[in-house]
Amino acid sequence: MHKKIYSILLISFLLSGCSLLQNMPLFGAKTPSTVEVKKGDTLYSIARRYDMSISELIELNGIDSPDQLYVGQVLKMSSSSAYIVKKGDTLASIARRYNTTYQALASKNNIKPPYALNVGQRIVIPGSNAKAIKQNRQTQQSTKQTAQSSLKNTSKQLSSQKSSAPSRPVSVKRNAKFVWPVSGKVILNFGAMGKGRKNDGVNISAPIGTTVKAGDKGVVAYAGNALKGFGNLILVKHPDGYITAYAHLDKILVQKGQSVKRGEKIATVGQTGGVNQPQLHFEVRAGKKAVNPRNYLP
- Give the model's pLDDT for residue 123: 82
Q: What is the pLDDT of residue 7?
A: 35
Give the pLDDT of residue 271: 92
Per-residue pLDDT tens over the stretch 236-254: 999 999 999 999 999 999 9
Angle 3-16/54-61 helices, nearest 10 degrees? 110
Kindly tell me if the per-residue pLDDT of 292 is higher than 90. yes
Q: pTM of this prediction?
A: 0.48
Residue 269 has pLDDT above 60, yes or no: yes
pLDDT at 157: 54
All domains of the chain, ordered by start, with CATH? 3-77 (3.10.350.10), 81-128 (3.10.350.10), 147-166+177-296 (2.70.70.10)
Non-local (6+) Cβ contacts of 10 within 8 A are: none
Q: Express each pLDDT in 169-184 by its tens digit.
A: 787 788 889 999 999 9
Contacts of 153 (CB under 8 A, 6+ apart): none
- The residue type found at 127 is G
Amino acid at 66: P
